[in-house]
């Protein structure tokens, strides 16, 4: 017997629950960066900050908790300085890599 699942009844996925170590954070951010979407990056950094503790990350980044929430909401466009300070507070670094030959040609 097949059972139909209503997607609206499923619990909302929260990536913060799975971002509990540096490796999972790095893999998550790498995938997000490949999307080349600034708002998605801000939202992902917000997921990581929630996983690590928003108050702690805000303090380490030198910004208020409220400003951090505002900067990292899904529809935001934070300044690069904010992204850089949050990444440092999270203990991660954004790294540039050359595109593969196949991707560069496309």
Q: What are phi and psi of 87, to 5 degrees?
A: -60, -45
Query: Is the model's pLDDT at 10 over the cut of 60?
Result: yes
Alpha carbons 84 and 5: distance in angstroms, whole number: 41
Among the listed ranges 14-18, 19-23, 38-42, 94-98, which one has the minimum average pLDDT value? 94-98
pLDDT of residue 75: 84
Tokens matching residue 54: 């928003």
pLDDT of residue 7: 85
| Full DSSP string of the chain | ------GGGSPPP-GGGG--SHHHHHHHHHHHHHTT-HHHHHHHHHHHHHHH-HHHHHHHHTS-HHHHHHHTSTT----HHHHHHHHHHHT------PPPHHHHH-
What Rg, from alpha-carbon coordinates, does the chain have?
16
Which of 10, 104, 51 lies closest to 43, judged by CA? 51
Mean per-residue pLDDT of the chain: 89
């Amino acid at each position: 017997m097949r059972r139909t699942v209503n997607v609206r009844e499923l619990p909302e996925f929260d990536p913060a629950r799975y971002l509990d170590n540096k490796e999972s954070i790095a893999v998550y951010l790498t995938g997000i960066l490949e999307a080349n979407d600034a708002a998605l990056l801000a939202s992902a950094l917000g997921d990581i900050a929630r996983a690590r503790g928003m108050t702690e990350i805000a303090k380490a980044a030198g910004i208020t908790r409220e400003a951090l929430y505002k900067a990292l909401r899904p529809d935001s466009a934070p300044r690069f300085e904010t992204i850089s300070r949050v990444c440092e507070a999270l203990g991660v670094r954004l790294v540039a890599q050359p595109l593969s030959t196949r991707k560069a040609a496309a």
